[in-house]
Amino acid sequence: MSETDDKVIEEGSEETREQADSGNAGDEEQSKGLPTLFFFIGFIISLVVGWVVFPAILYSSKKQPVDFNHVIHMELVDNGCESCHFFREDGTFSGAPRLAQCVDCHEDIQTESENEKVFVETYVSNGIEVPWYIYAKQPDCVFFSHAAHVKLANMDCVTCHGHIGESTSLREYEENVLTGYSRDIWGAKLWNMLTLKKEPWERMKMDDCAECHLEKTGRKTSIQTQKDGCLVCHK
């Protein structure tokens, strides 16, 4: 009740102000401009809310438990990416590295780095696996096979992941507060969420998987064209 009252009073006072203004011939133009000005202010506020504030609160950021520098490690390991991300004998992909890929070199702290200290003291010494956040993580209903893409289709990691393998630091993981999806699924940039993406790794929604499948395999796994196709990517 009181809210409406306030509004009426406000509107009333605006009108009075406007009437007072229009009484002054010199200000005639300004009075016509005033509603337009208010419209534009409101318009800009709603744009800011829609394009900046809403997307910002849509995601919650989480720091990785330990930061990891791909560049320095690539100089130290013998077997490139496969030293840490490899295919097991049964064809499954090892995914995020486990402590076994790190302990040979990290039994003891060897640098001044606070980050390494946390890694060794919290995880290595206690034999606890690092609970890495997976940027590319798909919902549980999705079936994805690295072997099909990397071994059979000979695809490069960069095609789907971007340049994480050449980074010196792990970026924050962003989780959609509504769906629990990683930001990488709908895309980091606002325009990715609409329709645009410049690089294949900028978004990995169902349509993006299907689009490439149609183009590369010619098999109609698109949801529109072949209903049976769902089980290609869904458990």
Distance (Å, rounded) from C-alpha 161 to C-alpha 164?
Answer: 7
158 touches 201 (CB < 8 A)? yes
- Residue 115 to residues 77, 83, 168, Cα–Cα distance (Å): 19, 21, 13
Running DSSP on this structure, what letter comes out for residue 199?
S
Q: How many CA atoms lie within 13 A of 218 on its CB side?
A: 0
Which residue number, 31 or 101, has a Cβ lying nearer to ligand HEC?
101
- Interaxial angle between packed helices 2-23 and 28-48, expressed in degrees from 0 to 180 and rounded to the nearest 10: 140
Which residue number, 189 or 213, has a Cβ lying nearer to ligand HEC?
213
CB of 147 to ligand HEC, least distance (A): 9
- Residue 132 to residues 62, 64, 142, Cα–Cα distance (Å): 11, 6, 20
CB of 53 to ligand HEC, least distance (A): 24
Distance (Å, rounded) from C-alpha 210 to C-alpha 222?
Answer: 5
CB of 52 to ligand HEC, least distance (A): 24
Which residue number, 5 or 215, has a Cβ lying nearer to ligand HEC?
215
220 touches 226 (CB < 8 A)? yes
Which residue number, 18 or 86, has a Cβ lying nearer to ligand HEC?
86
CB of 47 to ligand HEC, least distance (A): 27
CB of 37 to ligand HEC, least distance (A): 42
CB of 46 to ligand HEC, least distance (A): 27
Which residue number, 18 or 97, has a Cβ lying nearer to ligand HEC?
97
CB of 112 to ligand HEC, least distance (A): 8
CA-closest candidate to residue 132, choices 68, 85, 208: 68
Which residue number, 161 or 189, has a Cβ lying nearer to ligand HEC?
161
Which residue number, 21 or 116, has a Cβ lying nearer to ligand HEC?
116
- Tell me how far the alpha carbon of residue 138 is from its chain's centroid: 12
SS3 state at 103: helix
